[in-house]
Structure 1
Amino acid sequence: MSAAPTDRKTAWAVAQRLREGGSIGAAADAVVALWQTAQGDRGETLAALDFLTECGAHGRALPVVHVARQRWRGDAPIAARAGEIALALGLFDEAAGALREAITLNPKQGAAWLRLAHCRRFEADDTDVQRLRRAWSGTDFDEATRTCIGFAFGKALDDLGDYALAARVLTEANALARKTSPWRVDDWRRFVDAQLRASALPALPVDAEFNPIFVVGMPRSGTTLVASTLARHAEVRDRGELNWVPALRNLLAEQRQSHNPQALATIARLIRAQMQRDDAPARFHLDKNPLNFRYLDFIAACFPNARIVHCRRDARDTALSIWMQHFAHADLGFAYDFADIAEVRKDGAKLMTHWQSRLALATIEVDYEAFVAGPQTQRDRLDAFLGLERDATHPVAAENPAIVTTASVWQVRQPVYTHALQRWRNYAPYLPALTALFPAPPA
């Protein structure tokens, strides 16, 4: 789709409507065509890149950002976007180069520091470690940027095995992040209590032509690993971490329409469109937003035939892994305090028990430790649960996912390994809350 300058606002509106209707491929096509008529406009280029990445169309964004980097050399925001896009596609060397350029041009780009840390596992003589060390020792950064540098440097120190310094750096970074987080434990407790007391929602009829999978659990419990493994099957499409379920569920609640079957049906059609999209058809479509465990009653009402994959992991390893990440979404604001993580973990288990006793959703539980110990065995369990035939051309660790935008972006593209098992033991001497607030693993 091309458009004259006077029609550009309308053309963008059309692209937005296509995206909202689930026609992601058509929306991406429209925006790329629109950008091609205005390649010399930096604002239009940045808008196109933002739109494409928000759609998950990183493959379409890559040639756009390559052109942009050639046209606007020395442009820090464009270099940062180039790094973001390449990282999501698993182009780690390209990503690191672009992110280094972005940081050199403007060291106050916090997200660029975070993404650089996730391009690889650091070695002792890595120049990027020295870059992070100097930045952390500097005084020229605002708190938001320093927070990002702290999480990035902490990750590098963990890679190097300097757990004592990593604990100190990450303690400060988490304290900074918590200062600006809107998440409050009292709000969480009220929400959980309301969910446990809520009356049942009316269930819509089963839509036999749509089979959604929701991978849920605590963040950092293996949801990305499980989702990417499932997506290697030709009959499964992984849509990543979608926010449609919480956003639309909360919209209905605000409008007091949660028990209105017509309103539920409208919302279910919207979610279905965002999961099915307009690419090649598949038997299953997957949403791996881990916090969807909060809303399984809503999912059951909209999609009675949904399959739930509940990921679990050692409590201390989960808590540590959450605490070591800087999350963008406000719903994950509990990540910066071990007491808050413990509260969410406890109540998450309570909610899952409640849903399993009350809902008829087909559910399977996958333990991270079991997956790491025997990935093919767990793949077989998942295939049997979904009724998928073994696809011999896709063994568990043989193929990398196309797009990953979570903190697992590097790890999920590596062979399944045991490095993350019992990781909490490295930090127990320096983080007493880990052993005080979370149960010990089984002997």
Structure 2
Amino acid sequence: MARADLGFALGRMLDEAGAYDEAFATYAQANRDSRLIPGPPGARYDRAAQETVVDQLIAAFPDAGDGEGGEDAPLFICGMFRSGSTLTEQILAAHSRVTPGGELELLPALVRRDLQPWPDSLKTLDEGRIASLRAAYLDGFRTRLPGADVITDKRPDNFLHLGLIKTLFPQARIIHTRRDPLDNCLSCWFLHLSHAMPWALDLEDTAHWLIQQERLMDHWKSLWPDDIHTLDYDALVADPEEKVRGLLDFCGLAWEDGCLSFHALDNAVRTASVWQVREPLYRRASGRWRNYAPHLGPLKAALGRA
């Protein structure tokens, strides 16, 4: 563990010094060292298994359904890890009506505890069971955030659970964050992430995970095009006010100037983006991949951008 940690730290120092070739080689070794750390079962990424998961979810939700209720749902924020989800939540948290929930474990916990085997269990859900699950979820976040008006539930991997979200909360609004795929993959690979995200230890695995995420999101958007808002990080940093206005409109929130000063918030942030969201919006992370262009042939090919 220590060897890998030191490697990621050295890679960051070399990147900040502009020594990009050395940084890339150092990050590659750090990721190799991380793969050698013993992990729990399933700590190695299985591309075929992930494709099967996405296939099953698409099959489990062939249409939008006609459910009602769930107007008291939070705002759900999801997408690829390191695509701007923490930034999006901070922008919304700067609004006077919004309380950030952070990376809540509520939905994954429902799936693990009450909806096995997943997603086959969805076939037997009746209205009573749906109401019970909805109540369990709402009780969970009301206990954590009593009296809050508008709450955000920000978990990047909740893109896997959008079908469940729309089953429990047919009126739910979902914000999908994304950014340039090359920048996104590199940003994941440059961090020493948990082995719960084994796809991040290999650039081509990261590309595969991203492509599967986009494939599933395309399906969700085909079912609920008016209820899913895509916020592009690169467009946001290029024109903050326009994109923040669009975000607030989608969320049914009035404009507040403070949403452009999100970096001044004195709230707890428990993600890898904590320091980035303490700064005003900047553009230096857009197109960062160009610093590493000579090394990205395999990643571009994996993304279909050869």
Common topology (TM > 0.5): yes
- Conserved 8 A contact 1:297-1:359: no
Offset from partner CA, 1:178-210 (integer Å, 9 cap, x none): 3443332222121111112225697764133x2
- Conserved 8 A contact 2:103-2:155: yes
Matches within 5 A, 1:176-191: 176-179=33-36, 180=39, 181-191=43-53
Question: Which residue does the alignment assign to 2:115?
Answer: 253
Question: Which residues of structure 2 form unaligned runs of 5+?
Answer: none
Deviation at 1:265, TM superposition (A): 2.6
Tell me how many residue pairs correspond in the alignment. Answer: 296
- SS at 1:426's partner residue? helix
Question: Which residue does the alignment assign to 2:180?
Answer: 314
Offset from partner CA, 1:126-151 (integer Å, 9 cap, x none): xxxxxxxxxxxxxxxxxx22112222
User: Which of residues 195, 198, 218 in structure 2 aligns to 1:353?
Assistant: 218
Query: What letter corresponds to residue 294 of structure 1 in structure 2?
Result: L
Structure with bigger RCO (C-alpha 8 Å, 6+ apart): 2
User: Would you say 1:219 and 2:81 are equivalent positions?
Assistant: yes
Query: What letter corresponds to residue 226 of structure 1 in structure 2?
Result: T
User: Which of residues 55, 61, 70 in structure 2 aligns to 1:193?
Assistant: 55
User: Would you say 1:383 and 2:240 are equivalent positions?
Assistant: no
Question: Which residue does the alignment assign to 1:301?
Answer: 167
- Conserved 8 A contact 1:276-1:285: no
Matches within 5 A, 1:202-241: 205-208=68-71, 210-241=72-103
Question: Which residue does the alignment assign to 1:270?
Answer: 136
- Quote the Cα distance in structure 1 between the aligned partners of 2:105 and 2:258: 32
Deviation at 1:273, TM superposition (A): 2.4
Query: What letter corresponds to residue 13 of structure 2 in structure 1?
Result: A
- SS at 2:260's partner residue? coil
Deviation at 1:266, TM superposition (A): 2.5
- Quote the Cα distance in structure 2 between the aligned partners of 1:397 and 1:439: 35
User: Which of residues 140, 147, 162 in structure 1 aligns to 2:4?
Assistant: 147
Matches within 5 A, 1:64-103: none
RMSD between aligned residues: 2.3
Question: Which residue does the alignment assign to 2:274?
Answer: 409
- Quote the Cα distance in structure 2 between the aligned partners of 1:232 and 1:397: 5
User: Would you say 1:336 and 2:194 are equivalent positions?
Assistant: no
Query: What letter corresponds to residue 220 of structure 2 in structure 1?
Result: W
User: Would you say 1:169 and 2:26 are equivalent positions?
Assistant: yes
Aligned-residue sequence identity (percent) comes to 34
Return 281-290 or 294-303, whichever deviates more.
Answer: 281-290
Deviation at 1:211, TM superposition (A): 3.0
Deviation at 1:439, TM superposition (A): 4.8
- Quote the Cα distance in structure 2 between the aligned partners of 1:267 and 1:327: 31
- Conserved 8 A contact 2:177-2:233: yes
- Quote the Cα distance in structure 2 between the aligned partners of 1:199 and 1:418: 38
- Conserved 8 A contact 1:372-1:417: yes
User: Would you say 1:399 and 2:264 are equivalent positions?
Assistant: yes
- Conserved 8 A contact 1:211-1:305: yes
- Conserved 8 A contact 1:308-1:361: no
In 2 relative to 1, CA 415–368 (structure 1 residues): closer, same or farther, beyond 3 Å? same
Deviation at 1:315, TM superposition (A): 0.9
- Quote the Cα distance in structure 1 between the aligned partners of 2:5 and 2:182: 23
User: Which of residues 264, 278, 282 in structure 1 aligns to 2:148?
Assistant: 282
Query: What letter corresponds to residue 206 of structure 1 in structure 2?
Result: G
Question: Which residue does the alignment assign to 1:326?
Answer: 192
- Quote the Cα distance in structure 2 between the aligned partners of 1:384 and 1:426: 36
- Quote the Cα distance in structure 2 between the aligned partners of 1:242 and 1:365: 21
Deviation at 1:303, TM superposition (A): 1.1
Deviation at 1:344, TM superposition (A): 1.4
- SS at 1:345's partner residue? helix
- Conserved 8 A contact 2:92-2:259: no
Question: Which residue does the alignment assign to 1:435?
Answer: 300
- Quote the Cα distance in structure 1 between the aligned partners of 2:61 and 2:237: 39
Deviation at 1:396, TM superposition (A): 3.6
Deviation at 1:214, TM superposition (A): 1.0
- SS at 2:268's partner residue? coil
In 2 relative to 1, CA 244–182 (structure 1 residues): closer, same or farther, beyond 3 Å? farther
Deviation at 1:279, TM superposition (A): 4.1
Query: What letter corresponds to residue 232 of structure 2 in structure 1?
Result: D
